[in-house]
Chains A and B, each alone.
Chain A
């Protein structure tokens, strides 16, 4: 659990530079086109590996940073049942982080290195977690909307061409849909509750709706990576298609709650059956991604603090493991 062995595998991953070999590339693409899963020891283009490491690690970081806004309400959950549900959820998110770091490690980069990038401020994570959880209703809104959007994004990833990532996503998606239902149930309780509770629910929807739509990333017109990732079957459905699917599923759910979406342009297109939404404020999206969201600095500071304050604990565990290994070796040599 505390071994550092994977750090040395970095050279391995960088090694044989066959990326330029057109025959190998063609054979690789043919495998993808046949829907074969690519496994850790298979040859793969450097770009494919890089893209996956970036995407999987960003996803892992998002799970870990995402524990902070929700963890913010564990000690204040209003009933024992809600406290248990929230604890279990945040624990699940930590587990998702673990599987995803493990999936990234199969590509030859260690968790320590990836976490180092996060702490150095060089890695990205989902910007949604740079918004604060102000009230208890935010816990419902996050489950309903943020986990809901995550599911839309992640279900297609269960068919991603890279085997370890696809398999991790299957398990994660099952748990995310559980979180989504629990979040919605929390919102329903508030929406059917006292006038204050209903106001709290509406206020949370007002704050979380647009950032949730932004979770799908820039519009297809402006997205940089889409076409190569589509060919490699890393990203199988476009940002805008996923976003539309999310809106179509979520709007009726919100109406059932008796809540109003903070979008005057939101309208059902009778012809297509789709809910059309108003323009997304991409300036806000870009600003938060660039680091100027309300909580970017706080989130990173919290991760850094935990890491720094835990250093002596990790050192102790390593020293203890070394002592025990040494003792075992000495005993074996007798």
Chain B
């Protein structure tokens, strides 16, 4: 695969995951269990949206067809989105939101740390900025996983149920396809084997503190990076893209 095309594709994967998860997290705003969490979750959503803006903006420049971050975010349909399936899953209860966030944050923090050493200066710069945010999010979500897991019987059961539900969506985070292989060879993207090992150490450490059981790894869901999404993404995009679609050509 041509390197430029591969980088575009890779940036879409990273950017779309941030955009879609940021959207999900932002749905909590004003409805969280505590005022502190309204603020914390809004902050996570804000950081992820900011990362999406940078990653999609860079993707658009790499593509070189005159699109910008907003055109990529607001004017593509679901089948052109490249986010992880995990990110589009509905919020569910607070345990689901936190567990989904924790699994993602632990991955993103490791991935960004590796990408900060990318041979592609543009990507390395975005990752270097993002890694601090990802670590901060990980501390927040990790602490909550521990609190819920080792809180009450109810919170433990809810956290375990969330973990069991989302576990099959974690395999996708470490897939290495032709796009990744091309970029790994060029030193642009990292080898995912050590990233996965580090992610697993973080997960095991937090789950042990939380007295939660790591689910057995069976069949892993896949398809996000090929545009094969679940049914919920279309509804998310219908909401997110409403204004630019309803008023074509308008500037906001």
| Interface residues of A, Cβ cutoff 8 Å to B | 1-2, 64, 67-68, 71, 74-84, 87-88, 90-91, 94-95, 97-98, 101, 136, 189, 193-194, 196-197, 302, 305-306, 309-317, 319-320, 323
Contact = CB atoms under 8 A, between A and B. Distances in A.
19 contacts: A1-B36, A67-B29, A74-B29, A75-B27, A80-B52, A84-B46, A91-B29, A91-B43, A94-B38, A98-B35, A306-B31, A306-B32, A310-B32, A311-B33, A312-B158, A315-B155, A319-B151, A320-B150, A320-B151
Given A84-B53, A193-B251, A309-B93, A302 B30 contact: yes
Nearest to A66: B30
A310 B73 contact: no
A194 B69 CA distance: 22
Contact of B35 (A74, A97, A317): A97
- From B49, B74, B148, B242, residue with most partner A Cβ within 10 Å: B49
Contact of B94 (A67, A136, A194, A313): A313
A68 B251 contact: no
Contact of B147 (A76, A80, A317): A317
User: Shortest 4 CB-CB distances between A and B: which pairs?
Assistant: A310-B33, A316-B151, A316-B155, A78-B243
B185 to A, nearest CB: 32
- Chain B contact surface mostly: helix
Nearest to B73: A80
A45 B146 CA distance: 46
Contacts of B33: 306, 309-311, 313-314
Contacts of A193: 250-252
Contacts of B34: 1-2, 310, 313-314
B92 to A, nearest CB: 11
Contacts of B151: 315-317, 319-320
Nearest to B41: A91
Given A194-B249, A312-B155, A316-B152, A80 B53 contact: yes
A320 B147 contact: yes
Nearest to B146: A320
A78 to B, nearest CB: 4
B59 to A, nearest CB: 13
A181 to B, nearest CB: 17
A1 B150 CA distance: 18
Interface in B136-180: 146-148, 150-152, 154-155, 158
B26 A75 contact: yes
Contacts, number: 140
B249 A67 contact: no
A211 to B, nearest CB: 20
Nearest to B27: A75
Contact of B42 (A91, A97, A306): A91
Contacts of A90: 29-30, 42
Contacts of A323: 150
B239 interface: yes
Interface residues of B, number: 49
B213 interface: no
B23 interface: yes
B250 A95 contact: no
Contacts of A80: 19, 49, 52-53, 56, 69-70, 73
B50 interface: yes
A316 to B, nearest CB: 3
A80 B72 CA distance: 10
B195 to A, nearest CB: 27
B240 interface: yes
Contacts of A320: 146-147, 150-151
Interface string B89-131: 0000110000000000000000000000000000000000000
A19 B52 CA distance: 58
A136 B30 contact: no
B252 A74 contact: no
Contacts of B183: none
Nearest to B156: A316
B244 interface: yes
Interface in B218-252: 239-240, 242-244, 247, 249-252
Given A136-B243, A189-B251, 13 more contacts: A67-B29, A79-B252, A83-B26, A87-B26, A90-B30, A136-B252, A189-B252, A309-B31, A313-B33, A313-B37, A316-B152, A316-B154, A320-B150
Contacts of B43: 91
B45 interface: yes
B39 interface: yes
A95 B37 CA distance: 11
B247 A84 contact: no
Contacts of A194: 247, 249-250
B47 to A, nearest CB: 9
Nearest to A95: B39
Contact of B23 (A75, A81, A317): A75
Given A87-B29, A98-B36, A189-B252, A313 B148 contact: yes
Contact of A316 (B27, B38, B147, B249): B147
Contacts of B150: 320, 323
